[in-house]
Amino acid sequence: MNIFKAMAVKSLEEATRAIPVIDAGPAFRGEPSGLDTAARQMRRACESVGFFYLAGHGVPQAVIDAAFRASREFHALPLEEKLRLKLNENNIGYLPVNESMQRASTVHKATRPNFNESFFISHDRGAEHPDVLAGKPLRGRNQWPEGHDGMRTAMVRYFKTMEGIGEGLLPVLARSLDMPDGFFAPFFANEAQINLRFLHYPPQDTDDDEQFGQGPHTDNSFITFLAREEVPGLAVRLPSGEWLAPPVIPGTFLVNLGNMMKRWSNDRFLSTPHGVLNDSGTDRYSIAFFYSPNPDSVIECLPSCAGPGNPPRYPPAVYRDLVLEFYSANYFHQAGYKG
């Protein structure tokens, strides 16, 4: 039986007891005690479940709606046009259905590729950008279809807007880990490693127990912001082992921590398994914003997360090496994929 078949569909009240709603508005506005309150709530959520709903973010609904329209516009393009933009070594471009697989997952042994198609963008760098000229890994240019300038504008606007939200949360996350408010900011300077993924999940065969829209996995990001519409399909594995289908709460993003935060915090903060099964009978769209440090960053245990009897669990590592290893394991186009 597909593991998602037994997932719990709970009331909004029950769901938000499992995955709390955190209003970051007071912290973003610099209100007295706003940062302390948000950090305290975030610490509790990150230590207990690794997911939370983010309210008070200030992103206009019009910006989100335009991003979803842009995603539909892209995915409605003829396949041959999308394939001209196929995902490259920088993980930018179009990923067709059945060309990724959760091979790096430690929570489920994937036997089938993921049944979704995705369009990835990153910073909209020009041809003269120094990292582009130098051919630095993970620092390439976006790939755009011709004749879709409005789509491009909407996607880049969403990217830049969410980049600001990520930056705004860094002091909250730092304080939640008992670190100075400005601790994380230098790691995200000079163009943080960001992937914005526009996902389309076609309806799938509900009788195939091994087929997922996105197999159960943990993200490799520092933190992920997910925008969703009303079509269900997402499931989150709670610490109890129960799979929860988190409802959409208008005006919020569903946020989860990734493996980089888990590593940085010495497992104090959770990177929680989740996945997608689109058995709705209709197309499902979501937008995932993966926010991570600059590829040159060295990820090593925070001093507030280790001590006598609790030594660092992971050696220091350059983020570029970690993310390239992850891409190689999960995306068929990467040179390291062995089939």
Encode pLDDT of 30-79 as tens digits.
Answer: 999 999 999 999 999 999 999 999 999 999 999 999 999 999 999 999 99
Residue-wise pLDDT tens digits, 188-218? 999 999 999 999 999 987 666 678 888 889 9
Tell me, what's the pLDDT at 339? Answer: 34
CATH number, domain 3-330: 2.60.120.330
**Residues of 160-192 as b/e, b for ≥16 C-beta within 10 angstroms?**
ebbbebbeebbbbbbbbbebeeebbeebbeebb
State the DSSP H helix or E strand holding residue 243, giving kind and residue range, or none if neither.
strand 243-244
Place of tokens 């489920």: 108
In which residue ranges of the chain is pLDDT below 70? 1-6, 101-111, 206-209, 330-339
Output the pLDDT for position 114.
83
pLDDT given for residue 213 in this prediction: 86
What is the structure's pLDDT at 92? Answer: 97
- The pTM for the full model equals 0.94
Report whether 135 contacts 110 (CB < 8 A).
Answer: no
- Look at residue 72 in the predicted model and tell me its pLDDT: 98
Domain regions of the chain by residue span: 3-330
3-state SS, residue 302 = coil
Identify the pLDDT of residue 159: 98
